[in-house]
Amino acid sequence: MPDPRSSPVQLRRAVASSFLGSVIEYYDFLLYATASAVVFDRVFFTNLDPLVATVASFGTFATGYLARPLGGLVFGHFGDRVGRKRMLVLTMVLMGVASSLIGLLPTYQQIGAWAPVGLVALRIVQGIAVGGEWGGAVLMSAEHATTRRGLWASFTNAGAPCGMLLSTAVLTGSAAVFGEDAFLDWGWRVPFLLSVALLVLGLFVRLKVAEPRLFEEVRESGAPRRTPVIEVLRDRPRQLALGVGVGLSAFVAQSTLTTFVLAYGVQAGFGRQTVLNAITLSSACAVVGIIAWSALSDRVGRRPVVLAGAVAMAAYSFALFPMVDSGSGALLVLALVLGQGVLHPMMYGPLAALYTELFSTRSRYTGASLGYQLAGLGGGLAPVLFAQLRSAGAGTAAISGTITAFCALTAVCVVALQETSRSDLAAASRTGTAAEKEGKL
């Protein structure tokens, strides 16, 4: 009798759950990113110079990225020991609660310095939640899949731009409906409070998914098990280090094309709504791009796709800011669609399957989460670094050069890494379990 845990029905449920969960998590996480560029500097940092307030706002944005590795480590540990599904339910609840509380947080004018303190604290909780979400969501799809692992796992990554699309659309709609004054006064809270409704929907879908068969086999084997993070650091440090390097430039490019360009475009003379519309369109294109490039990586391998994306992004970074500075709305849209919708997905899409394939089932949640979230630090720090470069008088060439340096690091790590797309997750799991029983590990 076929194992119901590996049935096509469970695969579809796992993919749908991972995609929807990712959309919800990144709606909340990236809603903060958009709000940090257009609202928070005037709501929570009103006592600062405008440029300094922007840097401070991006700084609170970065704290979420700094907390993500901690979330990956904590939830990865229990996800490898207790189960993927339970941890994914917890991360979704944690994110929904934190985002809703941001929507209820008093402003600086109401409670003074406690407002930014509360904002940072809730941002840290968001970071911990999304840090634990990604690894588990990817594994639910990849470990249920028997073929086309890159395609099925990519739906989790596609949830990120879809969440960006949703968050930008809701924030934009709120600004249009309420008007500028009302939006800055209280209207910006509405998108955060909508997290409650998304949380209920996400939990309804997620609770219907079974644990992956690969994980259940390892748990039922009765083999002795080491602490997952120890296993990753002791047995696969090279894979972890190279995985971080491979993903780093994708996050730098992502935050540049969404968070930093939003603030930069407004400073260059575009209306906030114009830039938000361009980001919304490019986010929609990114959903398609991520899935398409990931599907291609099943055919030609993860390395060629990511390497081509890194080289293309390095060259494109020098064209990005002149296109924005042109003052042309058409060139602004083209710049963002090309960057976020075509080139960035080449680097970002295959990462879901790649991180899954680098680690064994016993420590895969921990290893994949750590690799991805440590690479994600680049996404949090890049807008802060670029804003500081701008405040110090540096031109956009310095920013493009920084992006190129990260892309070069990715290219080196991709070349050093073995191709993973042909690896057999089930065979690796059985080999590791047998070795443990024989006392070889």
Q: Which CATH class is domain 4-207+226-437?
A: mainly alpha
172, two tokens: 């934009």
- For residue 214 the two structure tokens come to 């690969």
**Other C-beta atoms within 10 Å of 229: how many?**
19
Which phi and psi angles does 112 have, rounded to 5°?
70, -140
User: What is residue 434's predicted lDDT score, i.e. its pLDDT?
Assistant: 39
Cβ atoms of 343 and 313 within 8 Å: the answer is: yes
Quick check: 71 and 373 in contact, CB under 8 A?
A: yes
pLDDT of residue 438: 38
Helices (H) and strands (E) in the chain, counts: 22, 0
Q: What is the pLDDT of residue 432?
A: 45
Q: Look-up: residue for tokens 């630090």?
A: 377
Length of the chain: 441
CA–CA distances in Å: residue 133 to residues 9, 63, 336? 22, 17, 27
The percent of residues above 90 in pLDDT, for the chain, comes to 32
Checking if the pLDDT of 4 tops 50, the result is no
DSSP 283-322: HHHHHHHHHHHHHHHHHH-HHHHHHHHHHHHHHHHHHHHH
Interhelix angle 114-142/8-38, rounded to 10 degrees, is 160
3-state SS assignment for residue 192: helix
Question: Of the candidates 357, 343, 375, which has an alpha carbon nearest to the alpha carbon of residue 419?
Answer: 357
First to last CA, the chain: 33
pLDDT tens for 155-199 read 999 988 888 888 878 877 887 787 777 877 778 788 888 888 888
pTM (two decimals): 0.82
Task: With a cut of 90, say whether residue 31 has pLDDT above it.
Answer: no
- Please choose, from the candidates 329, 362, 345, the residue with its C-alpha nearest in 3D space to the C-alpha of residue 437: 362
pLDDT over 80 at 335, yes or no: yes
Query: What distance in Å separates the CA atoms of residue 122 and residue 154, rounded to the nearest whole number?
Result: 28
Using the Cα atoms of residue 60, residue 39, residue 110 and residue 187 in order, give the sign of their dihedral.
negative
- Cβ burial of 237 (10 Å; 0-12, 13-18, 19+) is exposed
The per-residue DSSP string of 395-435 comes to -HHHHHHHHHHHHHHHHHHHHHSPP-TT--HHHHHHHHHHH
What confidence tens digit (pLDDT) does each residue in 190-215 have?
888 888 888 888 888 888 888 888 78
Structure tokens at 437: 């029983």
Q: Identify the pLDDT of residue 437.
A: 41
Count the Cβ atoms, other than its own, within 10 Å of residue 161. 31
Q: What is the pLDDT of residues 38-73, one digit of tens each?
A: 676 666 655 555 555 555 555 565 676 778 888 889
Instruction: List, for residues 385-403, the tens digit of each pLDDT value.
Output: 887 888 788 888 999 999 9
Q: Which residues contact 382 (CB under 8 A, 6 or more apart)?
A: 251, 252, 255, 256, 260, 402
Q: Give the residue among 3, 112, 101, 72 at the shortest CA–CA distance from 247.
A: 72
State mean pLDDT over 225-242. 89
